[in-house]
């Protein structure tokens, strides 16, 4: 469980996982015509969670680390004013729910094929 890891390991894990976010900006986070348009902040957050999920499920070798790093840096700067501790707290609070949403979306997508 993430809460029981030493602080430096939590930060390292989060930073590694978050590196994946940029992938989604150009792939999984694209919108269909049935979805309402997202704000820039909404797209950034969607990309963040997609990178986090993909890194967790598939590992860092299956993500665009540079793009995800850019997304991580952007969300930390714009949403948390550069405060890593605030970002970490938010990530810990929302991770389970956001990953469940992405998992459900992938399952539904596979079922439509």
Are the C-beta atoms of residues 71 and 64 closer than 8 Å to each other?
no
Are the C-beta atoms of residues 49 and 102 closer than 8 Å to each other?
yes
* Residue 47 lies inside a defined structural domain of this protein: yes
The pLDDT value given to residue 35: 52
* Residue 79 lies inside a defined structural domain of this protein: yes
The pLDDT value given to residue 109: 72
* Residue 2 lies inside a defined structural domain of this protein: no
Q: How many separate domains does the chain show? A: 1
The pLDDT value given to residue 62: 87
The pLDDT value given to residue 20: 40
Range of the domain at 93: 8-28+37-112
The pLDDT value given to residue 17: 43
* Residue 3 lies inside a defined structural domain of this protein: no
Mean pLDDT (10-residue bins), the chain, 113 residues: 42 45 39 59 94 93 92 96 97 97 83 68
pTM (whole model) above 0.85: no
* Residue 53 lies inside a defined structural domain of this protein: yes
Q: Rounded to whole angstroms, how far apart are CA atoms 102 and 104?
A: 5
- Please count the residues of the chain: 113
- Torsion angle defined by CA atoms of residues 30, 25, 19 and 109, in that order, rounded to the nearest 10 degrees: 10
Q: Rounded to whole angstroms, how far apart are CA atoms 89 and 94?
A: 9
Per-residue DSSP letter, 72 = H
């Amino acid at each position: 469980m993430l809460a029981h890891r030493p602080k430096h390991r939590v930060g390292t894990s989060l930073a590694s996982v978050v590196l994946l976010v940029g992938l989604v900006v150009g792939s999984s986070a694209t919108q269909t015509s049935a979805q309402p348009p997202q704000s820039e902040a909404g797209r950034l957050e969607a990309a963040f969670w997609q990178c986090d999920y993909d890194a967790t499920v598939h590992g860092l070798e299956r993500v665009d680390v540079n793009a995800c790093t850019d997304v991580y840096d952007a969300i930390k700067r714009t949403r948390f004013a550069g405060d890593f501790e605030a970002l970490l707290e938010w990530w810990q609070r929302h991770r389970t729910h956001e990953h469940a949403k992405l998992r459900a979306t992938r399952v539904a997508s596979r079922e439509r094929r």
